[in-house]
A and B are shown apart, each in its own frame.
Chain A
Amino acid sequence: MIQAIRPKLQLLSKDFIQKIIDEALVILEKQGIFVENQEALDLLKEAGMKVDESAQRVFLTPQIVEDSLSSTPSIIKLYDRAGEKEYVVGEDEVHFDPGSAAVTILDHKTQEERRAVTDDLIRFIRLTECLEHIHFQSTGLISSDVPEIISDSYRLYIGLLFSKKPIVTGTFRVEGFKPMYDMLVAVRGSENNLAEKPLAIFDACPSPPLKWSNLTAQSLIDSARAGIPSELISMGMTGATSPVTIAGTLVQHVAENLCGLVICQLAKKGAPVIFGGSPMSFDMRKGTTPMGAIETMMIDSAYCQIAKHLNLPTHAYMGLSDAKINDNQAGLETGIGAVLAALAGVNVVSGPGMTDFESCQSLEKLVVDNEICGMAYRLIDGISQRDDPIATHLFEDFKPDTQFLSLSHTKNWYRKEHTFPTIIDRDTYDYWVSLGKKSIAERASEKVERLLRENPPSLPAEDIIKELKKVMFDDAKKNGISSLPELKLD
């Protein structure tokens, strides 16, 4: 039986990949990179790197990069909240998660963006929980009804309460790591259990060009020591904060991420690291950062190809749109991005649900995007032979009126060969009219409400809830906050 081949997108030749990596190494060695974190600088100095203390600038040798690459695992295994279901992050496995840290939500009723509150975040997390093609959860919305200072720990708190899926998150302040780590430990029962079965990924973004800030470098160090995978999110804007050519931005991207990877490995050898990013094809007319630009997706796909060449797990912000409502643009940009990400074999694809330059989340879009992700998964499953012979036996006794509907071959294979989206419109015109001429956003909104109505919250065990609450309220108290929004936890 002939097996399906995995269709693959490759944008760079081997020589080109090597040239990009070589130039990145030259920059790290000759120009150096800023690291505004004393602990990281100390680690780098101990490892024999030249450090300009006053400028907080470090010069990395190709050797330390090579050593760090060889101690970085090529595969990470994430586990769900119960510690049962395993997700491989590496090779060509693809997992979608909603685009994270949006500040607004697209309100379906008013069709306007507004600040999100706790209830929005809970609905968002619970909805993600129900969507089969969105494998991971993300702390996708920032609640404006809790003080800014604890918004990082608060969104993880809500995520862990209402979701079983592994979760992509990150700190907004150096002090945010401790409570967030304590919450994850509370779920797993012990620090060792958490290191053995990671439940969350922490994002850390260098500041282009060539800088790791105090916050992000600290997140790398703390996560590495705790066994939490760090996702390195380099984010050059072509022609603004990184070179204007796609290849030039790739050089900077690789340099920044490799420095992050070295910091992780110096903090703890063997620490899990994901080579990710959120680079943007900067729009020179508008001064904006389109995530739906084809060039943005080309940069994403290309650095993932480079990361694969280096045997690293990958991540990208793809499958999202810059549209402001759920219109054609929202669908086409998300569709192209999700398909390219799947073809490029990006391991963690953050994007679904997102609009307006990574700033807004839409529940309706998340439901639509779930179907897009389903199509992308179907695509990379490829074409299999299925039967031997493939089809000649179906044409025995071939007659003018032969049809295939009643064949057992059809019944055996149709559900495996074909997918059946639920809100994509495949109705006849008359039937569509009879259903009220609804747009996809309207159908998606109905599905949002139905899913939330029919699926009760996936709360953890009583004692875990208690522990999570304690960590959250302690963190709030430490920051002078005496009350948090009331949650319904039964």
Chain B
Amino acid sequence: MTEQELFSKMQKSIIEGNKDEAEALAREAIEKKIHLNEVVEKGYVPGIQKVGDLWEKGEYFLPELITSAECMKAAMAILQPEMEKSQIKTQSMGKIVIGTVEGDIHDIGKNLVSSILSANGFEVIDLGADVKLEAFIEKAKEENADFICLSALLTTTMLGQKKFIEVLKEKNLYGQYKVMVGGAPVTQKWAEDIGADGYAENAMIAVRAVKNLMKG
């Protein structure tokens, strides 16, 4: 099998959501000592990009999206330790601290965003649900994060997003991190009103929004 054939198999494994295959191919690449940066860039990443396209075209739905994202994560989990060993610098797209705000136990939407972001090359630190506002800040400091993403499903907990911006301002940290907000009751207008940097109505749009904010 040529490298090219291996790369296209990798793409296919991600597009089809075949986790066993994606993992096996990652191991194969390590054995064959193929340059792992190329494996990621030419094998797996085009796969997840194609999945994104299929989603936008309306051919893929959430189950396909999430399965492919999980495959991507599984393959990366095998590749990353090897890359670190051989001191290959992985190109992180950016570091993101994400969680559902205090008082809110809903995290299905947040989980989706978190999976899709990490599948797209972002380093995601997921704090889970019912996360205290302080905890977001502590983690972001500790990890030197680029982004803080706050999810809220309830109109009551949505107020936590607003409060979070106020806390950042009090601590003179406003502007230090890009803040993204999301969740069922959240709108672009709300994001603007409270002074958040971005809003996305679904996981794929979140990827695009984060990428745009990284550029800008």
Contact = CB atoms under 8 A, between A and B. Distances in A.
Interface of A: 103, 142, 148, 172, 207, 213, 237, 239-241, 284-287, 357, 359
B62 A285 contact: yes
Contacts of B112: 287
A250 B112 CA distance: 24
Contacts of A213: 105
Contacts of A240: 62, 108
A103 B155 contact: yes
Interface in B64-83: none
B109 A287 contact: yes
B216 interface: no
B156 interface: yes
B201 to A, nearest CB: 9
A78 B30 CA distance: 70
Given A284-B61, A284-B63, A148 B105 contact: no
Contacts of A359: 184-185
B202 interface: yes
Given A103-B185, A207-B105, A239-B63, A287 B202 contact: yes
12 contacts: A142-B155, A148-B156, A239-B63, A240-B62, A241-B108, A285-B58, A285-B62, A287-B62, A287-B112, A287-B203, A357-B184, A359-B184
B131 to A, nearest CB: 17
Contacts of A148: 156, 159
Nearest to B58: A285
A285 B156 contact: no
Interface string B2-39: 00000000000000000000000000000000000000
Interface of B: 58, 61-63, 105, 108-109, 112, 155-156, 159, 184-185, 202-203
3 A-B pairs with the lowest CB-CB distances in the bound complex, closest first:
A284-B61, A284-B62, A103-B155
A213 B185 CA distance: 22
Given A357-B184, A359-B184, 12 more contacts: A103-B185, A142-B155, A148-B156, A213-B105, A239-B63, A240-B108, A241-B108, A284-B62, A285-B61, A285-B62, A287-B62, A359-B185
A172 to B, nearest CB: 7
A464 B58 CA distance: 57
A358 B109 CA distance: 18
B62 A172 contact: no
Contacts of B62: 239-240, 284-285, 287
Nearest to A241: B108
Nearest to B203: A287
A312 to B, nearest CB: 27
A213 B83 CA distance: 43
Contacts of B109: 287
Nearest to A148: B156
A287 B185 CA distance: 13
B104 to A, nearest CB: 11
A241 B202 CA distance: 18
A286 B201 CA distance: 10
Nearest to A240: B108
A79 B79 CA distance: 67
Contacts of A285: 58, 61-62
Nearest to A213: B105
Contacts of A284: 61-63
A117 to B, nearest CB: 14
Contact of B156 (A172, A207, A286, A287): A172
Nearest to A173: B156
Contacts of B156: 148, 172
A206 to B, nearest CB: 12
Contacts of A142: 155
A103 B61 CA distance: 29
Contacts of B108: 237, 240-241
Contacts of B202: 286-287
Contacts of A239: 62-63
Contacts of B63: 239, 284
Q: Which of the listed residues B63, B108, B109, B155 has the most CB atoms from chain A within 10 Å of its own CB?
A: B155
Nearest to B109: A287
